Amino acid sequence: MTKTDEALLLLYEQRNDKAIRETEKHYKKLCMSAAMQITESREDAEECMNDALLRMWNAIPPAKPQNLGAYLLKTVRNLAYNLREKHSAMRRGSGQLPLALDELAESLAAKHDTEEQVADSLALRDALNRFLGSLSADQRTIFVLRYWAALEISEIAARMDCSQGKVKMTLTRTKQKLRQYLEKEELL
């Protein structure tokens, strides 16, 4: 847990209103970017961000997340997905998320047996966590920003202060490593 997260968690535990302002100050840019990729609307992204902050306020305490940024980002993403589903008028297949998931499809084979798929979900989740832990910090950040936060290549390059070519190459190599890792773990 970072010192920032520790300080924020203490503010939440003390029920200090400053916790929300400071959380927003530290994590709003990342969360808004992810929400906008999903909802394609600044207003909807703002709504998701505000709802996520409220949920965080209501959850802490008793919850004590190890990584407040990840906790908040996950909440924002879930709210954004729910909002996108609610707005049935949105075009299907637009934005970066479907594109990002298509890119990963070649590395993650789909099983046709639903019962087996459900049984393997925990093993796959654990294997993905171990795989991410084996990557360098830059590789992991690029991979997560693309396939979890659904950011565009150009946004990732700007955040990582590197070229788009480096981001693309890192993603290609990381997907290859993921496929090899999952095959070794007998999950493909």
pLDDT tens for residues 37-68? 888 888 989 999 999 999 988 988 888 888 88
Asked if domains 3-86 and 96-184 share a fold, the reply is no
Check residue 92 and give its pLDDT: 43
User: Which of 106, 109, 110, 127 has the alpha carbon at shortest distance from 175?
Assistant: 106
Check residue 101 and give its pLDDT: 59
**Confidence band of 176 (pLDDT split at 50, 70, 90):** very high
Check residue 155 and give its pLDDT: 87
Check residue 51 and give its pLDDT: 92
Tally of CB atoms within 10 A around 8: 27
Query: Can you tell me the distance from the alpha carbon of 96 to that of 86, in angstroms, rounded to the nearest whole number?
Result: 19
Check residue 87 and give its pLDDT: 65
The class (CATH top level) of 96-184 is mainly alpha
pTM over 0.85: no
User: Which of 74, 113, 105 has the alpha carbon at shortest distance from 178?
Assistant: 105
Tally of CB atoms within 10 A around 140: 15
More confident residue, 182 or 164: 164
Q: Quickly list DSSP for 27-47.
A: HHHHHHHHHHHHH--HHHHHH
Residue range 66-80: mean pLDDT, rounded: 87
The class (CATH top level) of 3-86 is mainly alpha
Check residue 6 and give its pLDDT: 86
Residue 2 pLDDT > 50: yes
Q: Note the pLDDT tens digit of each residue in 80-136.
A: 988 887 764 444 434 555 556 566 665 555 555 555 555 567 677 778 888 888 999
Boundaries of every domain in the chain = 3-86, 96-184
Angle at 63 between CA 1 and CA 58, to 5 degrees: 120
Check residue 169 and give its pLDDT: 94
Q: Tell me if the bond preceding 61 is cis, omega within 30° of 0.
A: yes
Check residue 184 and give its pLDDT: 86
